[in-house]
Chains A and B, each alone.
Chain A
């Protein structure tokens, strides 16, 4: 029985690897740019917009998905970010940018299952039609954009990685997103406004 399962898994893997395409995304929001609001479906099928969060001071927008090992490595940390900052006015808004026809593991149903299994405390939205991630200029998962409301309009304040160690949450030295939001809360200058990390190309 075990061999049969292995055989099947290997076959699935090979079949799935056979054909995938790739899109290049270039421009997107820079630090200081105003973000257009969006209206995307959450795992309950309800539309969510930034404007729904009337009391928010800003947002932690994270492009993430089910299928990328780097994104998966950060799931618990994304949950923690929301737990720390939702009460301080910076909710996490997670957006799944991949095309589920190319990546079946990122289907709406798979998103629902993942959110339930991991107990996501934040909205997990699907970028249906892939119209939102190109505007942000997100290229990979995970890819974070910290926004701050200025005159009630969301402005980009930080772009990049969650922290400096994808492998081991306990070995993290610099928590880029936390540092950025803490700075915003204090009205201080953000030390690292842009950071880089390896991620899975959005497809």
Chain B
């Protein structure tokens, strides 16, 4: 245990040399994490198999749905998550709805996913997809999807577009704009 602590410390110090602001950020995050451990009950998480998720991918209510497939362990996913959050915030009045579909492992819902949602104060709707038979459902999301995440579907009624890529906020806005007309 002590050995790991030393290794960890060295790693952090190495990573942080000349980056004081980041250390500050890290310790702030830490406080938040510790405070929030106590109450995860307020986090509601719908867990679906693909049949359960399907209706969310096929709504016909004229809203623009932005469905992002992600996981807490996927770094590019986590990085772009704040753009989806921003989109959800800024386009709520334009009938844009963001749904974040987590592919986290089910045994980590309570220890990883829920604390993540709580600590990052995620406001977009988060659901978890627990369906091991991936070959059956990945092509139903999109034929072109290789299965790599992050991946995103944007749709409005019958018009839809699929992306197996990471987004910047600008790119996301531009794609959504094509559905706004």
**Chain A to chain B contacts (Cβ below 8 Å), 22 pairs:** A1-B2, A1-B5, A8-B8, A9-B8, A12-B8, A12-B12, A20-B79, A24-B165, A69-B71, A69-B73, A139-B148, A140-B148, A160-B135, A164-B134, A164-B135, A166-B132, A168-B132, A176-B135, A198-B149, A200-B148, A201-B74, A202-B148
Name the CB-closest residue of A to B71.
Answer: A69
Q: Is A167 an interface residue (CB 8 A)?
A: yes
Question: A17 CA to B120 CA in the complex, in Å?
Answer: 13
- Contact at B132–A171, with CB atoms within 8 Å? yes
- Contact at B15–A203, with CB atoms within 8 Å? no
- Contact at B132–A12, with CB atoms within 8 Å? no
Minimum-distance CB pairs A-B, first 8: A8-B8, A196-B138, A140-B148, A195-B135, A201-B148, A165-B132, A139-B146, A22-B166
Which residues on B sit within 8 Å (CB–CB) of A197? 134-135, 138, 147
State which of B105, B133, B135, B136 has its C-beta within 8 Å of the C-beta of A69: B105
Shortest Cβ gap from B167 to chain A (Å): 10
Which residues on B sit within 8 Å (CB–CB) of A168? 132
Q: Is A65 an interface residue (CB 8 A)?
A: no
Question: Which chain A residues have a beta carbon within 8 Å of chain B's beta carbons?
Answer: 1-2, 4-5, 7-12, 14-18, 20, 22, 24, 68-69, 139-140, 143, 160-161, 164-168, 171, 173, 176, 192, 195-203
Which residues on B sit within 8 Å (CB–CB) of A140? 146-148
Which residues on A sit within 8 Å (CB–CB) of B5? 1, 4-5, 8
Q: Is B145 an interface residue (CB 8 A)?
A: yes
- Contact at B134–A17, with CB atoms within 8 Å? no
Q: Is B16 an interface residue (CB 8 A)?
A: yes
The size class of the interface chain B forms with chain A is 35 or more
Name the CB-closest residue of B to A166.
Answer: B132
Question: A11 CA to B10 CA in the complex, in Å?
Answer: 12
State which of B22, B138, B139 has its C-beta within 8 Å of the C-beta of A198: B138
Question: A203 CA to B78 CA in the complex, in Å?
Answer: 15
- Contact at B33–A10, with CB atoms within 8 Å? yes
- Contact at A139–B164, with CB atoms within 8 Å? yes
Q: Is B75 an interface residue (CB 8 A)?
A: yes
Shortest Cβ gap from B61 to chain A (Å): 28
- Contact at A198–B147, with CB atoms within 8 Å? yes
